[in-house]
Amino acid sequence: MATEEDIDYSLSRVPDEAKQPFWRILFIRIGAICCVSQLMLGAALGFGLTFWDAFLATMLGSVLLQVVSWALGTAAAHEGLSTSLLSRWAGFGKGGSALFGGVVAISMVGWFGVQNSVFGEGMASIVTLTDFLGGMEYPIWAIVTGLGITLLVVFGIKAIANFAAIFVPLFVIVVIVAAAIILQNHSLTELLTTAPPGPALTLGAATTMVAGGFIAGAICTPDYARFLKNGNQVFWMTLIGTFVGELGMNLLAVLLAHAMGTENVVDIMMGTSGIIGVIIVVASTVKLNDINLYSSSLGLATMLNALFN
């Protein structure tokens, strides 16, 4: 019979002895934000805004995400409960938590599918250009990563944190290297002052794009913040994640969009080098998609427990 530890406390409080070191959960948080889709968002901002307007939109959207993440994460650290279980004891009741858990499960498994598609399409395009691994096609790559991530999630939060500790630094390094290759012939002053290359984007729309791009992830912050010891750790986890992920990735992509005059910077970055492109896609998918599936499984567990006891 499975113990609570075997199922990663999916239907119970995380006890004090099961709390995790701060750095483990921090890597999960950074990995959830630093991804290819974040670069795509930043490029979209840079295509329609000046650098400083994009900076302001990113700051405003990030503040909204920070407040939501910190509030929910602090409650989770104090109570040791996932997002779906918190909803049961915060006024939704058993039936309400079942509905909420189902919505979370569907939403996050949907994001899992989106990221899996990004992985499969990215790898398929790279192998077509480089003849890497004999030109395996998109469906095969999607199946491989889907099964691999599912197996990883089965082993729980520790396995997710260990993989994030490897792939987060790797992703950040290769993105910086690829960006440096592209930006080497452009001056920083030019990139900071140039007009947006595409149709103008309003500040309100841009702020909404930033906040909306990670709001599902912000709501699911308790799923891993419950393994932290207190609200102070949650605050620093979310703040550092915001600076590295939202500000770092977004603004780097803004510079790339200004330098290249296009919002399709991810494909160009992956085209700078076959192996760098492979690492960007693999690292981004592994460290983000595991937490998507993890949150989905917790929501599903809460729903099934509420409906069928």
Within a domain: 24: no
Q: For the domain that residue 56 is a member of, what is the CATH number?
A: 1.10.4160.10
DSSP for 124-193, please give it.
Answer: HHHHHHH-GGGT--HHHHHHHHHHHHHHHHHT-HHHHHHHHHHHHHHHHHHHHHHHHHHHTTS-HHHHHH
Within a domain: 9: no
Q: Are 52 and 60 in contact (CB under 8 A)?
A: no
Within a domain: 166: yes
Provide the pLDDT for residue 31: 86
CA separation for the pair 167, 175 (Å, rounded): 12
Within a domain: 10: no
Quickly tell me which residue has 């499969």 as its tokens: 120
Range of the domain at 270: 30-308
Number of domains in the chain: 1
Within a domain: 70: yes
Q: What is the pTM of this model?
A: 0.85
Provide the pLDDT for residue 3: 46
Within a domain: 12: no
Within a domain: 261: yes
What spatial distance separates the first Cα and last Cα of the chain, rounded to whole Å? 17
CA separation for the pair 59, 76 (Å, rounded): 25
Within a domain: 1: no
| Cα–Cα nearest to 11, from 231, 217, 300, 221 | 300
- pLDDT tens for the chain, residues 1 to 309: 344 444 688 888 999 888 999 999 999 999 888 877 788 889 899 999 999 999 999 999 999 999 999 999 999 999 999 888 888 877 778 888 888 888 888 888 888 888 788 777 767 766 665 555 555 677 888 888 888 888 888 888 888 888 888 888 888 888 888 888 888 888 888 888 888 888 989 999 999 999 988 888 888 899 999 999 999 999 999 999 988 888 888 999 899 888 888 887 666 666 555 566 666 666 666 777 888 888 888 889 888 888 887
Provide the pLDDT for residue 165: 86
